[in-house]
Amino acid sequence: KVKPQLEEKEGKTFDVFTAVEFKTQVVAGTNYFIKVHVGNDEFMHLRVFRSLPHESKPLSLHSYQSSKTKRDELAFF
């Protein structure tokens, strides 16, 4: 659900978009930190926010880090 949001921010499309690892952080909702393979040896780290159920808001791409590798540790940011 956040792929189109990332493609819009980056100004390009991703043929490959596969989550390979994730971590969560509970706040007033949930932050998901997701390592995504976007093709070749390229990875991105995404921070996706899911609001509390009663707010009925869609998932949102809060921020991201590009130019990551498979070995880069997925950390909160």
Cβ neighbours for 75, distance < 8 A, ≥ 6 positions apart: 33, 45
Question: Is the residue at 74 inside a domain?
Answer: no
Question: Is the residue at 47 inside a domain?
Answer: yes
For the chain (77 residues), the mean pLDDT of every run of 10, in chain order, is 92 93 92 94 94 88 92 89
pTM for this entry: 0.85
Question: Is the residue at 62 inside a domain?
Answer: yes
* Boundaries of domain holding 12: 1-69
- CA 7 centroid distance within chain: 12
Say which residue the tokens 């997701």 belong to.
Answer: 34
Count of structural domains, the chain: 1
Looking at residue 53, its pLDDT comes to 84
Question: Is the residue at 77 inside a domain?
Answer: no
Question: Is the residue at 76 inside a domain?
Answer: no
**Distance from C-alpha of 57 to C-alpha of 71, rounded to nearest angstrom:** 33
DSSP code at position 66: E
> Cα-atom radius of gyration of the chain, to the nearest Å?
13
